[in-house]
Structure 1
Amino acid sequence: MNKSLFEFASYNDSAAKRAGYSNYSYWRSTVQVFAKNKMALFFLILMMVLLTFTFIQPYLPNQNSPTKIHIDENTNMQLRNSSPDSKFWFGTNSIGQDLWARIWSGTRISLMIGFLVGLWEAFIGIIIGALWGYVRKLDRIITEIYNVIDNIPTTIILVLLTYIMRPSIGTLIFAMCMTGWLGMARFVRNQIVIIRDREYNLASRCLGTPTNRIITKNLLPYLVSVIMLRMALAIPAAIGSEVFLTYIGLGLPVSIPSLGNLINEGRAVMMVPSLRYQLIFPAIVLSLITISFYVIGNVFADAADPRNHV
């Protein structure tokens, strides 16, 4: 052997650390994959613009109150069913209220209801679903509670609660929160049952890892994508429930503008061609919100799946 062909390499601590370094970041990769979808990016920007404008609209100049009834200066009568013009961009309704102001006020209220119900569904649904799926002692108890509530049609629960309690935003939110967590809890439970007995979870239990740490560190991170999808869809679903309850006469009072009230008012005059704008404008806003959340939720769920990361 010719020793001149070989030489001992000296140990370099910094070089050794660089050999095992990876700059992979889960959330950065998720954002990068999401940003590649142009349609999702468009709806995300559209939703951000819509949300921003909805909340700053009352503070813009020359904005009318959503509850003010406008009077015709020539006749001293209510300016009823005025077609869209330079003064009233979306026209007026059947009692002379500015439809532009009512639509944005109604959008604020409906979005608030949707976000509160969606966050409650995610928070309670994830907690109950995680305990239901992982702690075997709680399985039978939570299953019985779930079956009792789930076997009563959701529509009946919503109708009874909104009928018994005084109609208000709080009543509507409470009624939808009573049953909103069921779907999320069942979904999370089924997903956790699938992965709870995998080797790394068994190893964690053998090492004495607390239950709450196993759930938060071993189980829930694998469900980020599907949970985010459910949360994104819960918001337009809550808005849809508000529209439905208003449609059957058990939603918010007429004095409180919401997308449900506006669509219900527009439905009453939709057969008159000159008054269909009262249904078209709120329906467009509701459609944009629903489609945006649906597209963003689906694309983000795919982007959050590590198998789609590079």
Structure 2
Amino acid sequence: MQTQPSSQPNNLSVNPMKQEKPETLLSITFRKFIKNKLAVVGAIILFIIITLALLAPWVTPFEPQKQSLLNKLQTPGGEHILGTDRFGRDVLTRLLYGARISLLVGFASVAGSVTIGTFVGAVAGYFGGKIDAFLMRVVDVIISIPTIFLLITLVTIFNPGVDKLILIFALTGWTGTARLVRGEFLSLRSREFVLASKTIGTRSHTIIFSHILPNAMGPIIVAATLGVGGVILAESALSYLGLGIQQPTPSWGNMLQDAQNFTIMLKHWWYPLFPGLMILITVVCFNFVGDGLRDALDPKSIE
């Protein structure tokens, strides 16, 4: 007796429902970051500033150090979009080339200080005991010295320059990162994955840099982002005081210092206005991005 084929569809031939892939940590962080509108706006503005600074030779036809006394203190408009300074140099050109200096000092200094602070904090937090006590006392001594006076003293001893400023900021700005990383390591060193690594005989430096440190990168990234804005502000302050980047090399700080004459500031408003705005906008944008990253990297934050 022959069996007739069943009229019901074969369930095996139906395409199974596609299972959604679990989100990666990077995608979750990005999704949470873009919900912070101020952080997104800050990131876009910073991208524009950095891009214009890198493309400065193609954006503006003028040289940042070339003087033209016949064109000094021209109002914004025409050939000189943001006007000229008291030596006839194009303000927009000097702003873009000054951005190179300020951003270089900011990023390089923070990279150095974060590296030092991460190493010191990791060693102190992981080993604890006398090592922790000694390293934290060193941190306390450095923190107890007023930063601005320490910077002025060091810059006065060593001739001002981009390389020396980067070195000074890196050697004086690592204490906050060290404390932050130490706190993270103190909370992570007793976790199960660390205890398991110790049990199987994994070396300490492998546990520190391969197991614990990746789990502490969130706060370090946030601290680095916020630190860039602080370094740019400090460099501008030193340059304004004549202790930072020296003329004729442009930086936002020494552009303000060059325009500090009251008569110039009163009659030629664009001269001090634009470098001041660049410092303000850049520092605020870095703070916005840092706040956005802090919320995005916080596992307890509400999505």
TM interval, short-chain normalised: 0.7 to 0.9
The alignment status of 1:49 with 2:48, answered yes or no, reads yes
Task: Give the 5 Å matches for 1:228-243.
Answer: 228-243=221-236
Cα offsets for 1:115-173 (capped at 9, x unmatched): 00011122111111111111125213323332333333222321122111122111211
Deviations 1:222-257 (A, max 9, x none): 323221110001111111111111232211112111
Cα deviation 1:67-112 (Å, max 9, x = unaligned): 111142xxxxxx3222112011111112221111111111111000
Determine if contact 1:83/1:92 at 8 Å carries over to the other structure. yes
**In the alignment, what sits opposite 2:103?**
111
Q: Output the CA distance in 1 between the equivalents of 2:103 and 2:121.
A: 26
How far off its partner does 1:286 sit?
1.3
CA contact (8 A) 2:265 2:271 kept: no
Give 1:76's aligned residue. Answer: none
Question: Could you tell me how far 1:215 is from its partner in structure 2?
Answer: 2.2
Residue 275 (structure 1) aligned with residue 273 (structure 2) = no
Q: Is the 1:266–1:276 Cα contact (8 Å) retained in structure 2? A: no
Structure 2 gaps of 5+ residues are 1-17
Residue aligning to 1:87: 79
- Which is further off, 116-125 or 218-227? 218-227
Contact 2:110 2:227 in 1 (8 A): yes
Partner of 1:40: 39
Letter in 1 for 2:229: P
CA gap of 1:213–1:305, structure 2 versus 1, over 3 A, is: farther
Which residue of the partner structure matches residue 177 of structure 1?
A: 170
Asked if 1 retains the 8 angstrom alpha-carbon contact of 2:97 and 2:250, the reply is yes
Letter in 1 for 2:220: I
| 1:196-215 alignment runs, 5 A limit | 196-215=189-208
| Deviation digits for residues 254-287 of structure 1 (CA, Å, limit 9, x no counterpart) | 2111011112223334774331211111111112
Rounded Cα–Cα distance in structure 2 between residues aligned with 1:272 and 1:281: 12
CA contact (8 A) 1:134 1:196 kept: yes
Distance 2:196 2:230 in 1: 40
Corresponding residue of 2:138: 145
Q: CA deviation at 1:206?
A: 2.8
* 8 Å contact kept, 2:113–2:169: no
Whole-Å Cα distance in 1 between the matches of residues 234 and 50 of structure 2?
20
For 1:255 and 1:100, the matched residues in 2 are separated by: 15
The question of 1:167 aligning with 2:165 is answered no
Quickly say closer, same or farther: Cα 1:268–1:192, change in 2 above 3 A: farther
Q: How many Å separate the matches in 1 of 2:45 and 2:164?
A: 31
In the superposition, relative to structure 1, how do residues 36 and 118 fare at CA in structure 2: closer, same or farther (>3 Å)?
Answer: same
Aligned counterpart, 1:102:
94
Q: Is the contact between residue 118 and residue 177 of structure 2 (CA under 8 Å) also seen in structure 1?
A: yes
Residues 150 and 200 of structure 1, relative CA distance in 2, 3 Å threshold: same
Alignment match, 1:23: 22
Per-residue Cα deviation, 1:186-236 (whole angstroms, up to 9, x for no partner): 221123223322444334323323222322344333323221110001111
Which has the larger displacement, 254-263 or 134-143?
134-143
TM-score, with length taken from structure 2:
0.86
Counterparts of 1:271 and 1:98, CA distance in 2: 16
Q: How many angstroms apart in 2 are the aligned matches of 1:100 and 1:43?
A: 21
Q: Which residue does the alignment assign to 2:148?
A: 155
Letter aligned with residue 125 of structure 1: G
1:294 matches 2:292: no
With the length of structure 1 as denominator, give the TM-score of the two structures. Answer: 0.84
- Percent of residue pairs bearing the same amino acid type: 29
Is structure 2 residue 38 aligned with structure 1 residue 63? no
